[in-house]
Structure 1
Amino acid sequence: APLLADKLIEPGNIVIDVKTGISGAGRGGDSKFGYAESNENLVPYGLLRHTHMPEIARTIEQLSGGSAAGLVFTPHLVPMTRGILATIYCRGRASTGQCLDAARRFYAGRAFVRVTDKPPQTKWATGSNLAFVSYAADPERNLVIAMGVVDNLGKGAAGQAVQNANLICGLPETAGLDGLPVWP
């Protein structure tokens, strides 16, 4: 988002590769998300028409003013219970420093976003409402890689619901959500 807002990347050629723990793929009667099927396995799902594609495309277009026509989003189920790591490949001539600076400005004052110099790891967010973001860029190759990590059971729907309820009720945004992450 910060890179789109600052026009540091091209909106029409974004590839999003997501690794998600079993709990991030949803629940239901389908046994494909059971332990026996997930253990020692890596499975892509929601290919080409994932349920989140329209909202991702809409956000890209709103932030950039351009088209998200070349958007690719592929989540992969990994054999861990919780956590999501998104690696996003973009075209742009920005440096890593420019990307980090844009993110620090964009997320300034956001209680739960941490911009890091190192690539984030899922363990960092475990049991928290935190989101960790970082970047790696090679302007000579016209390549920017954005990375983000959340605990989908913390920052996921439950954390978002509490955060929104706090705002609606006039409570501090962080009420009930600012505990320490569960790591190691």
Structure 2
Amino acid sequence: MPYKIAIIGASGYTGAELLRLIATHPEMEIAALAANSKAGQTIAQVFPFLRHLDLPTLVTWEEIDFSQIDLCFCALPHKTSQEVISKLPTNLKIVDLSADFRLRDPEVYQKWYGNPHAAVEMQKEAVYGLTEFYREDIRGARLVAGTGCNAATGQYVLRPLIAKRVIGLTDIILDLKCAVSGAGRSLKENLLHAELSEGTNAYAVGGTHRHLGEFDQEFSALAGEEVRIQFTPHLIPANRGILATCYVSGEAQAIYKALSAAYADEPFIQVLPFGQTPSTHDVRGSNFCHIGVTGDRIDGRAIVVAALDNLTKGSSGQALQNANLMLGVEETTGLMLAPCFP
């Protein structure tokens, strides 16, 4: 029998991506869909591209009988997610796609998100959902906190390099280009076509982006000392994709060898031949992350570039990868689809 799956927040972009991926998953069945603002509507009404699927009508999350559910994905906005999850059955397996359980320290959470955490005990229970580095913890977890899409991209580049000490820790610069779907589906003036197209802009400049909380937490724990990177994201007029360009001090071949060794057995992380760099086109709609390394004209410096799809590997694909582990399913199930090109 397939595992019964519920999705709360099914009317957003990450909810739609979960539906797209789970639709052909051989060991999962979507048993309940919640979207309080669109309760009573069908998925065909909300997402016409999914009208061919036989899916439950959207309801409020309070209407779901969770005794019949094996695992629940929660794709709600930050703050709302913790309030809802704290009211779900305590034996229910949950993968949260919001930021609410990513940061382990409640004071750090309040610093970056501006409000006290409403489920501190559950925050302690949550396992950070960067699959390739927390795989064994995720297998036995009840609550997994999906990473930020920007945070995932930067960590795929930097974690192996920090762990192997092949780069300097005081001069890391991460320049990141983000597609507009990363901002969610709710209406925002600056994301209107006339406001966004034909332009690119930096945002959260000067160290104010919330994903810095994840970088600080993860890199410092990995290094055993405080690591603070410079990070500037840029909004680009594209629907999907993240391209991260990371400037580091270190010997380029040593950096390449560290990344190649770290990901040699990882099914979704592809390290390109030395000197090649990836494009967001190469990973569009897939759960793959491509990483390239090149030397710089300045001796002792290197450039590492990573590309992933923010909705798939950066969010919903990662969530499904984690859910597979939590349910004892082969980790790659439902996720080996090829990128969509062009």
Q: TM-score, normalised by structure 2?
A: 0.51
SS of the equivalent of 1:85 reads: strand
Residues 1-184 of structure 1 correspond to what in structure 2 (within 5 A)?
A: 1-47=159-205, 48-69=207-228, 71-92=229-250, 94-95=251-252, 97-117=253-273, 118-138=276-296, 141-184=299-342
SS of the equivalent of 2:244 reads: strand
| Contact 1:24/1:84, CA 8 A, preserved across alignment | no
The one-letter amino acid paired with 2:220 is E
**Mapped partners of 1:61, 1:170: distance in 2:** 31
The one-letter amino acid paired with 1:164 is N
The one-letter amino acid paired with 1:73 is F
- Structure that is richer in helix per residue: 2
Which range moved further: 122-131 or 144-153? 144-153
| Contact 2:167/2:255, CA 8 A, preserved across alignment | no
RMSD in angstroms over aligned alpha carbons? 1.6
| Contact 1:25/1:77, CA 8 A, preserved across alignment | no
| Contact 2:172/2:230, CA 8 A, preserved across alignment | yes
Aligned length in residues: 181
Between 1 and 2, higher relative CO (CA 8 Å, sep ≥ 6) is seen in 1
Shift of 1:140: 5.6
Closer, same or farther in 2 for the Cα pair 1:74/1:26, shift >3 Å? farther
| Contact 1:13/1:68, CA 8 A, preserved across alignment | no
| Contact 1:12/1:67, CA 8 A, preserved across alignment | no
SS of the equivalent of 2:313 reads: coil
The one-letter amino acid paired with 2:182 is G
**1:31-89 residue CA offsets vs partner (Å, 9 max, x unmatched):** 111211110010111222101001112222223334323x2111100111110000011
**Mapped partners of 2:269, 2:325: distance in 1:** 17
The one-letter amino acid paired with 1:114 is Q
**1:95-150 residue CA offsets vs partner (Å, 9 max, x unmatched):** 3x322221111112211000002101000000100000111124962212111100
Closer, same or farther in 2 for the Cα pair 1:99/1:166, shift >3 Å? same
**Mapped partners of 1:6, 1:139: distance in 2:** 23
**Mapped partners of 1:64, 1:52: distance in 2:** 18
Closer, same or farther in 2 for the Cα pair 1:39/1:146, shift >3 Å? same
| Contact 1:27/1:33, CA 8 A, preserved across alignment | no
Residue ranges of structure 2 left out of the alignment (5+ in a row): 1-158
**Mapped partners of 1:29, 1:129: distance in 2:** 27
Closer, same or farther in 2 for the Cα pair 1:26/1:46, shift >3 Å? farther
**Mapped partners of 2:183, 2:162: distance in 1:** 27
Shift of 1:2: 1.6
Instruction: Give the aligned partner of residue 110 of structure 2.
Output: none
The one-letter amino acid paired with 1:49 is T
